[in-house]
Amino acid sequence: MARSYVGEARRRGLGRRRDRIGPIVERLAAEHADAEIALRFRSDLELLVSVMLSAQTTDVNVNRVTPALFAKYRRPEDYLAVPQEELERDIYATGFFRQKAKAIRGTMQMLLEEFDGEVPRRLDQLVLLPGVARKTANVVAAELGHAQGVVVDTHVRRLSQRLGLTRQDDPVKIERDLQRVVPRPDWARFPHLLIWHGRRVCDARRPLCEECVLADLCPSARIVPAP
Ligand code: SF4
């Protein structure tokens, strides 16, 4: 599917990825001026925990749990001061609570031992934290103002393919393609723009191409993708 959209961009004479990316970012930024992370947090530590909790669940779900959680657990030490079962109960509603509690406690331990209790900014340091995969690390680094990659979630994957920005399926390879084509200053906001566009306009099953500001730049416009 992705391969045909890259080829289709050429067939439709839409121009190279590098030439289309400027207007794509510009138009999406105008269309979704409110596009930002949906998780609610007030500190680097709350950001890190929120992103860890958001695995396999919705941001809305996480936001329901975190106000009480963050009132109780303010410092890395606080997560280690209770039995793991208590933390599991406190994050139960986000799902996968056992793995998440274990990962959070391991992360807090490492923050205290290796990083003076602070959340590191570098991607290579963030991915050392237990339970912090590249996507989580990318989200945290970007929100801390130090984007070192491009977050690829399900919306970013789908839209990047439909827009003919990548022919890859694997998130790591998609990210590599996006890093080549998206200007570095836009690495942090680009995923948010695609995520909001994906939610509001470019739905997985029923993309609203006739209402889309990218229709003349998009090689899959008005093509109904196979489910
Ligand atoms: S033109 Fe259609 S397929 Fe392309 S980005 Fe817009 S809604 Fe999605």
Residue of the nearest CA to atom 8 in ligand 1?
202
Instruction: Say whether pLDDT at 222 is over 50.
Output: yes
> At 202, phi and psi to the nearest 5?
-95, 65
Q: Report the pLDDT value the prediction gives residue 224, as an integer from 0 to 100.
A: 47
Mean pLDDT of the chain: 94
What percent of the chain clears pLDDT 70, i.e. is strictly above it? 96
Residue of 128, 131, 136 lying closest to 79 (CA atoms): 131
How many Å from the N-terminal Cα to the C-terminal Cα in the chain?
A: 11
Q: Which residue has the higher pLDDT, 227 or 188?
A: 188
Report the separation in Å between the CA atom of 138 and the middle of ligand 1, taken as the mean of its atom positions.
26
Which residues on neighbouring strands pair with residue 51, listed in sequence order? none
Ligand 1 near 29 CB (within 6 A): no
Report the separation in Å between the CA atom of 101 and the middle of ligand 1, taken as the mean of its atom positions.
39
Query: What pTM does this model have?
Result: 0.88
Which residue among 4, 202, 222, 224 has the greatest number of ligand 1 atoms within 8 angstroms of its CB, and so is best to mutate?
Answer: 202
Model confidence at 3, pLDDT cuts 50, 70, 90, reads low
Tokens of 172: 């790591």
Q: Report the pLDDT value the prediction gives residue 11, as an integer from 0 to 100.
A: 86
Q: Ligand 1, closest atom to CA 209?
A: 2
pLDDT digits (tens, 9 = 90+) for 152-201: 999 999 999 999 999 999 999 999 999 999 999 999 999 999 999 999 99
Active site residues: 135, 153
Each residue of 176-211: b (16+ CB within 10 Å) or e? Answer: ebbeebbeeebbbbbbbbbbbbbeebbeeeebebee
Q: Report the pLDDT value the prediction gives residue 227, as an integer from 0 to 100.
A: 46
> HEC profile for the chain?
CHHHHHHHHHHCCCCCHHHHHHHHHHHHHHHCCCCCCCCCCCCHHHHHHHHHHCCCCCHHHHHHHHHHHHHHCCCHHHHHCCCHHHHHHHHHHHCCHHHHHHHHHHHHHHHHHHCCCCCCCCHHHHCCCCCCCHHHHHHHHHHCCCCCCCCCCHHHHHHHHHCCCCCCCCHHHHHHHHHHHCCHHHCCHHHHHHHHHHHHCECCCCECHHHCCCHHHCCCCCCCCCC
Report the separation in Å between the CA atom of 60 and the middle of ligand 1, taken as the mean of its atom positions.
26
Residue of the nearest CA to atom 2 in ligand 1?
209
Which residues on neighbouring strands pair with residue 63, listed in sequence order? none
Ligand 1 near 93 CB (within 6 A): no
Q: Ligand 1, closest atom to CA 207?
A: 7
Report the separation in Å between the CA atom of 214 and the middle of ligand 1, taken as the mean of its atom positions.
6
Instruction: Say whether pLDDT at 225 is over 60.
Output: no
